[in-house]
Amino acid sequence: MPAISLKLNGRSVTAEVEARTLLVELLRERLGLTGTHVGCDTSQCGACTVHVDGRSVKSCTMLALEADGHEVTTIEGLAAADGTLSPVQAAFREHHGLQCGFCTPGMVMSATELVRRNPGASEHQIREWLEGNLCRCTGYHNIVKAVQAAAQAGRG
Amino acid sequence: MAQDGIGVAMKRKEDLRFLTGKGTYVDDINRPGQAWAAFVRSPHAHARIQAVRTEAARKAPGVVAILTGADLAADKVGILPAGWLIHSKDGSPMVEPGHPALVADKVRHVGDQVAVVIAETRDQAREAAGLVEVEYEELAAAVTVTQAVAPGAPLVHEQAKANTCYDWHLGDQAATDAAFARAAKVVTLDLVNNRLVPNAMEPRSAIGEFDRATGDLTLWTTSQNPHLIRLLLAAFTLGVPEHKLRVVAPDVGGGFGSKIFHYAEDFTVLWAARKLGRPVKWTNTRTEAFQSDAHGRDHVTHVELALDKDGKFLGLRERTLANMGAYLSQFAPSVPTYLHATLLAGCYTTPAIYSEVRAVFTNTVPVDAYRGAGRPEASYLLERIVDVAARELGIDRVEIRRRNFIQPSQFPYQTPVALQYDSGDYGATLDEALKRSDWAGFEKRRAEAKARGKLRGIGLSTYVEACGIAPSAVVGALGGRVGLWESAHVRVHPTGTVTLFTGTHSHGQSHETTFAQLIAEKLGIPFDNVEVVHGDTAKSAFAMGTYGSRSLAVGGSAIVQAVDKIVAKGRKIAAHLLEAGEGDVEFRDGKFTVKGTDRAKTFGEVALTAYIPHNYPAGLEPGLEEGAVYDPKNFTFPAGCHVCEVEVDPDTGTVQVVGFTAVDDVGIVINPMVVEGQVHGGVAQGIGQALLEEALYDDKSGQLLSGSFLGYNLPRAADLPSFRVGTHATACTHNPLGVKGVGEVGAIGSPPAIINAVCDAIGVRHLDMPATPERVWRALRAAKKA
Ligand code: FES
Ligand code: FES
């Protein structure tokens, strides 16, 4: 089995993976990072979204091998070391942008990238950006509000 | 009002773990030595099983065992029961074919379970499942209800003649006929309530575990009601004693009804774990979820409304074919009957109502409760036909509703369809919604849209629904096989902090927050001093779980009762400490005070004394922990008004919701932030039903055409607007909190408002859901030709 090394939530990790192992499987099943969720098998729901080199990626569509040499951040790596929530995480709490919490890690990762790239994004832009992330609980209303609040503060 | 008590938009206790990836959903759990299960599912809608050949699969890497319907039959286990018995008009009981967890004789829908493969890893199990060879003799399928009731239709179950499960009715037929006979106007409508797939974002998952040493069994499962699952496993499917069985539903990623039911997979992993002596885990794929989670709705309805010349409703008649799917899921028989036809009075004084519902088996996935369960079907047919009547009588849509409203002075109001509404103010929610949506200014917006080449429409619905299910005696009289009370246990710790054990389950509803607020308010202790425990039969006492917007109305009422007992005992202890008569001690703001003095003991002091009873009332037991059960006296009746505004592109038929206002009376509100969130989610599902979602079967092959997120349009962020949400509370009169329930109002009130808006925009009498671009475009073209 090929070995890969990556930087995961700021720490260096090496792992032997099968060629067909998906990044989400490596994270959830081998490394115990179960914050990244699996909500579908057709790359449609975005529950599995993580950052690879700072960009949102659906980890169910990427092979673990492809992460070799890259920097991966999951929901577990977003808050500060002392537990302080990131601005997007805090905004989701403040604006009730989550109910059952299942879509939340993917939503937060995706929104974090948006806020970083396009601070001050409009409601329309936020809704378009979240195209790849499904939520069945919130009707998106409060998610959009949360992302808007974080974006207006101009911080990811 | 306490700063963190009732009525405050407290931030949620749940959020920290969910926002940092620390939630624990079933698929996040792994047990030592666990094997994985994968199911072999039928690719056919209807076929006789000739042979199941497992030799090749058994040789595949990692395979531990393969179990089939024959093994199930040999063990005499695994027949999933229905939880509600409905009787037909002629008094005969419904046809009740059992639902085997693994079928041996014939498959009855695409996705039906034929065998389970247990292997060392998930991938090995799934791969080996593909190697199980099942020889089928294909049979013609009855896919739609209309096909299933046609003469000579293939029979899903031999014992169900004409595929009929029951042929039921409610209401006074003669009185209703008489009302129609003297009507100045009769309006009729044929409509379809489209079949939906609930699609909670977390796929179902289960782990069964068996401890050989003790004989204890544990099931981790994605359930809204772990106690109910344990009861069904114990009494019906596995036949194990309840005290040896623990069911845990940890964090659950949404349910919307679909996680109420005892599914084949729950049973199978536990059965297999016991057989193999090792934990067995299974997690659904989304594709399998489409073929194995209970679907919702699927009614074909004919409805008639009789009116006098002034637009007063004289009578309503409904005839519905309700699709049960291939087997009876637990609540299925109650959904189109007692959860549906009992709501046909709506907000109106219609004096005579008659409903006939025929439940039909088809070769499709079982249909059961999905957010609203029977009530969205009622509000939809009612609010649609009211709009059609207004149009045909030339009466304003708002005016015709006002003329027929039950007035606040008429409560308690006995409807002709069994229910007695306790409270409401339909005019108030209507007025508020019209104001917030600027109904009066609409024509200007229509004209402005027209200038841009868009067809703008507005629609409303005024609905009432029944929640807080339900008084056990009533449920029993109507055929329910369970009681529908709820339990709460309040454990006060020696230092005065509190753990609440509730029988309800939170899978997005925020109980950990709102129930803590409730206790903080009642005991006058800080919100942070309350912990809410749910979802584990080993921790909380038996109770019925979460569905039908019952958790606060029923479960919250049980909490109030338990807290009252705590306060009563605390008063005894305080009176002793304060050397006062018990009747002279009052409890307020977290303090027991001798009336008219400043002599007081805090709640914490009293709690400590209960556990260190050195100076204690004679004859009183030490400790401070109380349990209560609450059996509701009536249903609760949330109601409200939803207003929807749409713009239609006449070239493409695309409908965009450009405004949505919901003003709901959900009774007293504990946490307005949570209430608004519940309404948002419900409305989003209503917009999904009205415009986007449809579980569409090929009516020949019985294949589910919209069987993944590629074909089934779950609402995405860009499909929806921001919502205007408000509440107007009239208190429920029969529970101690005055609460009514909020989980389902959004999904019940919104679909008719949306379709009413679309019909208004394009000027047609009726359009079936979902109003897809193609449907709208065709309707526009037909209207142009006509
Ligand atoms: S799990 Fe659904 S997109 Fe990755
Ligand atoms: S919060 Fe439940 S799916 Fe988004």
Over chain B (786 residues), the average pLDDT of each successive run of 10 is 86 98 98 98 98 98 98 97 96 97 98 98 98 98 98 98 98 98 98 98 98 97 97 96 97 97 98 98 98 98 98 98 98 97 98 98 98 98 98 98 98 97 98 98 98 98 95 90 93 97 95 97 96 96 92 95 98 98 96 97 98 96 97 97 98 98 97 98 98 98 96 97 97 96 97 98 97 98 88
State both tokens at A14.
């090496």
pLDDT of A154 reads 63
Q: What values do phi and psi take at B458, rounded to 5? A: -130, 145
Q: Is residue B19 part of a domain?
A: no
A70: pLDDT strictly greater than 80:
yes
**Would you tell me how many other CB atoms lie within 10 Å of the CB of residue A27?**
23
pLDDT of B415 reads 97
Q: What is the DSSP letter of A86?
A: P
User: Please, what is the Cα angle at B446 between B441 and B448, to 5 degrees?
Assistant: 100
Q: Is residue A82 part of a domain?
A: no
Query: How far, in Å, from the CA of B286 to the mean position of ligand 1?
Result: 10
Identify the domain boundary among A23, A45, A77. Answer: A77
Q: Is A103 in the pocket of ligand 1 (CB under 6 A)?
A: no
Using CA positions, which residue lies closest to atom 3 of ligand 1? A43
What's the rounded Cα separation, in Å, for the pair B490 and B555? 12
Question: In Å, how far is B760's CA from the nearest CA of chain A?
Answer: 25
Identify the domain boundary among B604, B630, B656. Answer: B630
Q: Is residue A142 part of a domain?
A: yes
Q: Is residue B158 part of a domain?
A: no
Q: Please say whether the beta carbons of B358 and B322 come within 8 A.
A: yes
Query: How far, in Å, from the CA of B677 to the mean position of ligand 1?
Result: 24
Which DSSP string do the residues of B745-780 spell out, in sequence order? Answer: HHHHHHHHHHHHHHHHHHT-S--PSS--HHHHHHHH
Please give the residue range of the domain that contains residue A18.
Answer: 3-77
Q: Is residue B318 part of a domain?
A: yes
Identify the domain boundary among A59, A77, A95. Answer: A77
- Asked if B14 and A140 come within 8 Å (Cβ–Cβ), the reply is no
Task: Answer yes or no: do B310 and B433 share one domain.
Answer: yes
What's the rounded Cα separation, in Å, for the pair B156 and B367? 15
Q: Which residue has the tokens 């079949």?
A: B195
Q: Is residue B392 part of a domain?
A: yes
Task: Answer yes or no: do B620 and B663 share one domain.
Answer: no
Question: In Å, how far is B743's CA from the nearest CA of chain A?
Answer: 11
Question: Could you give the C-alpha distances from B195 to B295, B373, B384, B753, in angstroms and in order?
Answer: 7, 12, 18, 19
Q: Is residue B781 part of a domain?
A: yes
Decide: helix, strand or coil at residue B629: strand
Task: Answer yes or no: do A96 and A142 share one domain.
Answer: yes
Task: Answer yes or no: do A105 and A134 share one domain.
Answer: yes
Task: Answer yes or no: do A94 and A46 share one domain.
Answer: no
Task: Answer yes or no: do A72 and A93 share one domain.
Answer: no
Q: Is A102 in the pocket of ligand 2 (CB under 6 A)?
A: yes
Domain CATH code at residue B624: 3.30.365.10
Which DSSP string do the residues of B695-745 spell out, in sequence order? Answer: --B-TTT--BSS-STTTS----GGG----EEEE-----SSSTT-B---TTH
Domain CATH code at residue A151: 1.10.150.120
Task: Answer yes or no: do A17 and A59 share one domain.
Answer: yes
Which A residues in the span 88-117 are in contact with B, Cβ-Cβ below 8 Å?
89, 92-94, 96, 98-105, 108
Decide: helix, strand or coil at residue B424: coil
Nearest to B752 by CA among B133, B2, B90, B193: B193
- A37 CA closest ligand 1 atom index: 1
- Asked if A102 and B202 come within 8 Å (Cβ–Cβ), the reply is yes
Task: Answer yes or no: do A7 and A73 share one domain.
Answer: yes
Task: Answer yes or no: do B669 and B750 share one domain.
Answer: yes
- At A76-124, the pLDDT tens digits run 999 999 999 999 999 999 999 999 999 999 999 999 999 999 988 999 9
> For the purposes of burial, counting CB atoms within 10 Å of the CB of B5, is it exposed (0-12), middle (13-18) or buried (19 or more)?
buried
Q: Please say whether the beta carbons of B632 and B555 come within 8 A.
A: no
Task: Answer yes or no: do A116 and A70 share one domain.
Answer: no
Q: Is A38 in the pocket of ligand 1 (CB under 6 A)?
A: yes
Measured between CA atoms, the residue of chain A closest to residue B674 is: A96
Among the partner residues A44, A105, A130, nearest to B710 by beta-carbon distance: A44
Which B residues in the span 72-91 are in contact with A, Cβ-Cβ below 8 Å?
none
Ligand 1 pocket check: which of A23, A25, A29, A38 to mutate, most ligand atoms within 8 Å of Cβ? Answer: A38
Q: What values do phi and psi take at A50, rounded to 5? A: -130, 175
Please give the residue range of the domain that contains residue B661.
Answer: 299-469+634-785
Count: domains in chain A:
2
Q: What values do phi and psi take at B144, rounded to 5? A: -100, 165
Task: Answer yes or no: do A17 and A66 share one domain.
Answer: yes
Task: Answer yes or no: do B417 and B337 share one domain.
Answer: yes
Identify the domain boundary among B630, B655, B683. Answer: B630
Those residues with Cβ within 8 angstroms of residue B157's Cβ, 6 or more apart along the chain or in another chain: B95, B97, B108, B163, B361
Count: domains in chain B:
3
User: Ligand nearest A60 Cα, by number?
Assistant: 1
- Asked if B508 and A142 come within 8 Å (Cβ–Cβ), the reply is no
Nearest to B108 by CA among B39, B66, B71, B163: B163
Task: Answer yes or no: do B462 and B608 share one domain.
Answer: no
Q: Is residue A50 part of a domain?
A: yes
Task: Answer yes or no: do A105 and A131 share one domain.
Answer: yes
Q: Please say whether the beta carbons of B436 and B447 come within 8 A.
A: no
Q: Is residue B182 part of a domain?
A: no
User: Please, what is the Cα angle at A90 between B687 and A104, to 5 degrees?
Assistant: 45
Task: Answer yes or no: do A69 and A105 share one domain.
Answer: no
Q: Is residue B564 part of a domain?
A: yes
Q: Is residue A11 part of a domain?
A: yes
Task: Answer yes or no: do A47 and A97 share one domain.
Answer: no
Q: Is B681 in the pocket of ligand 2 (CB under 6 A)?
A: no
Identify the domain boundary among B586, B605, B630. Answer: B630
Q: Is residue A105 part of a domain?
A: yes
> For the purposes of burial, counting CB atoms within 10 Å of the CB of B353, is it exposed (0-12), middle (13-18) or buried (19 or more)?
buried
Peptide bond connecting B770 to the previous residue in cis, omega within 30 degrees of 0: yes
Task: Answer yes or no: do A71 and A104 share one domain.
Answer: no
Using CA positions, which residue lies closest to atom 4 of ligand 2? A135
Task: Answer yes or no: do B665 and B781 share one domain.
Answer: yes
Task: Answer yes or no: do B418 and B511 share one domain.
Answer: no
Domain CATH code at residue B128: 3.90.1170.50
Task: Answer yes or no: do B737 and B721 share one domain.
Answer: yes
ipTM above 0.90, yes or no: yes
Task: Answer yes or no: do B94 and B227 share one domain.
Answer: yes
Among the partner residues B19, B22, B680, nearest to A141 by beta-carbon distance: B680
Amino acid (one-letter) located at B719: D
Q: Is residue B157 part of a domain?
A: no
Domain CATH code at residue A69: 3.10.20.30
Identify the domain boundary among A33, A51, A77. Answer: A77
> pLDDT band at residue A155, thresholds of 50, 70 and 90?
low
- Give the containing element (helix H, strand E) for B682: helix B672-687
